Chain A
Amino acid sequence: DAGVIQSPRHEVTEMGQEVTLRCKPISGHNSLFWYRQTMMRGLELLIYFNNNVPIDDSGMPEDRFSAKMPNASFSTLKIQPSEPRDSAVYFCASSFGSGGETQYFGPGTRLLVL
């Protein structure tokens, strides 16, 4: 099993540009989570999907952030336009069952917005 796959692993972009992060959950998992981690704020849940439907997006910082899950094997997190304060490591995680079960994390995407 390849585990949760995220791409790209690193992204450097300029302020104002659109950024798209991608995630492939573990096959058979029906819950998917996007997190953001910074030194200042720790690990923050951005949005949570169950069976491809967004369940809780209260952690999405603002309208510049959007997430989609068009099918059970793919999700995207988009930032448009990006700002320097969006610099962080973005993790995707998946689990089988409800949101409270064991989550399997991807390696993360390290984003730097200049």
Chain B
Amino acid sequence: SQQGEEDPQALSIQEGENATMNCSYKTSINNLQWYRQNSGRGLVHLILIRSNEREKHSGRLRVTLDTSKKSSSLLITASRAADTASYFCATDAVDNNDMRFGAGTRLTVKP
């Protein structure tokens, strides 16, 4: 069963704008990860944030984690057409040995 739920399901923006995607989950976690999937390809890991961290940066990516609200956000700044992809959050629950993926947010960046 899925643990993370992404929101929105789909997002369309213009190149140069920022894109924000949210993820909510239900149980206590060890860490939360964001992955990207281009059409027809496997998922690629973007960033991992541990339960004792609140914010993490990697290039144009910024991830926040609020364990009290059981939610995370992924911000992509200065978006590019090449950022067009589906973005998934995955949670490593405390009472599980594996990760569970959400349904994903489909991001379209128009040139």
Contact = CB atoms under 8 A, between A and B. Distances in A.
Interface stretch (B11-19, B69-77, B97-105): B97-105
Nearest to A108: B42
B98 to A, nearest CB: 4
B99 A99 contact: yes
A43 B43 CA distance: 10
Majority DSSP secondary structure for residues of B touching A:
strand
A107 B42 contact: yes
A99 B44 CA distance: 16
Contacts of B30: 100
Interface of A: 4, 33, 35, 42-43, 45, 48, 50, 55-56, 91, 93, 98-108
Nearest to B2: A42
A33 B96 CA distance: 14
B45 interface: yes
Nearest to A47: B98
Interface of B: 2, 30-31, 33, 41-45, 48, 88, 90, 92, 96-104
Contacts of A98: 97
A42 B6 CA distance: 12
B77 to A, nearest CB: 23
18 contacts: A4-B42, A35-B101, A42-B2, A45-B98, A48-B98, A50-B97, A93-B42, A99-B97, A100-B30, A100-B92, A100-B96, A101-B92, A102-B48, A103-B45, A103-B99, A105-B42, A106-B42, A107-B41
Contacts of A43: 43, 88, 101, 104
Q: Shortest 7 CB-CB distances between A and B: which pairs? A: A100-B92, A105-B42, A99-B98, A43-B101, A42-B103, A99-B97, A105-B43
A111 B2 CA distance: 22
A20 to B, nearest CB: 19
